[in-house]
Amino acid sequence: MPRHLLEVENLTVRLAAGKAARPILDGVSLHVAQGETVGLVGESGSGKSVTCRSVLGLFPEGAEADGSLRVDGNDVLTMPSARLRELRRRDVSMIFQDPRASINPIRRIGDYVTEGMRAGGVSRDLALKRAEELLESVGIRDSHAALRRYPHEFSGGMLQRVMIAGALAGEPRLLLADEPTTALDVTTQAEVISILTGLRTERAMAMLFVTHDLELAAAICDRIYVMYAGRIVEVQSAEGLFNRPRHPYTMGLLAATPRLDADRPRGVPGRPVSLADALTGCAFAARCAHARPRCGEQEPVPQVIDDAQVACLRAEELFDE
């Protein structure tokens, strides 16, 4: 088994709210090995993006973080500012959800793709040549002309490809993909996923793939972490999780996924809650068909069942059913 490139242990993030600290992540632990693609799934507001951004030390303003967050053995939480900038430029890159909100609209595409290389001392000519190669690798034709265009001249799918090219410019060992296909049509989604999986194989990169789509995660990921209300509730191989989920929340997500060979999908009842709204017991208890009174009183501790890790007080009972 390859060594872990990313190791997150008991990561807790709190936002200041008056005199009280409001938690948004609680005891999150995950790891990604070199060359592995790991999925992080859950509904909006579950803490996926905060977890992903934390790897780069990008915390919400005023947030306090505890725990350990190591990239190649170096703890991001205690890293000096200069080393953190180097980490973002060379070792870890991130593809954000919305390229139009992440790429400066008044600068040319060439400036965006070459910025990291230029900051690292690469000459302008060499950086532009490398940028052309990167744009071609993500399927953008006439890359030389594309470098002189502005973001508004690209469609959403093409601009997402530009963002991928920019993320790869520093030849990172770890790629953070935060719902990179959310705003794209189905055909373009498939093209972007094909690009990411191809580049991952070609470069032997590790990838943390954030999504709310379990079926998509199962198709491209080796392992999957399921997150709810700022906590990890289940960890399994992609095949195991899709074929036999252990946590009621994971079961609900799969039941809500439209499929051609199944009946009408059933949504998860109730509304998602934040960690701040569920400070005692299991955060999913109010929405869970399997909940018992103790579920609202006692916080579940992750336990291992076969090859799965599940945070559910009734995990053994449900497993036997």
Rg for the chain (alpha carbons), in Å?
A: 20
Residue whose entry in the numeric block shows the structure tokens 């410019």: 169
Left if phi > 0, otherwise alpha if psi is -120 to 50, otherwise beta: which for 48? alpha
Alpha-carbon gap, residue 57 to 185, rounded angstroms: 31
Question: Does residue 37 form part of some domain?
Answer: yes
Whether 112 is covered by a domain: the verdict is: no
pLDDT at 1: 46
Give the count of domains, the chain: 1
Q: Quick check: is 101 in a domain?
A: yes
Token look-up 């993030």 returns 13
> What secondary structure letter does DSSP report for 66?
E
Containing structural domain, residue 266: 4-106+150-320
State the pLDDT at residue 196. 84
Q: Is residue 11 part of a domain?
A: yes
92 forms beta bridges with 174
Question: pTM for the full model?
Answer: 0.90
Q: 111 lies in a domain?
A: no
CATH code: domain of residue 242: 3.40.50.300
User: SS3 for 251-276, per residue?
Assistant: HHHHHCCCCCCCCCCCCCCCCCCCHH
pLDDT number for residue 20:
61
**pLDDT at residue number 112:** 94
Classify residue 124: in a domain, yes or no.
no
Give dist(CA 170, CA 149) in Å, integer. Answer: 22
**Is residue 41 classed exposed, middle or buried when 0-12, 13-18 and 19+ CB atoms within 10 A define those classes?**
buried
Is residue 226 a part of any domain in this protein?
yes
Check if the beta carbon of residue 100 is closer than 8 Å to that of residue 150.
no
Within-domain flag for 129: no
Position 212 scores a pLDDT of 85
State which residues of the chain have pLDDT below 70.
Answer: 1-2, 17-21, 183, 258-265, 278-279, 319-321
Q: Rounded to whole angstroms, how far apart are CA atoms 148 and 124?
A: 14
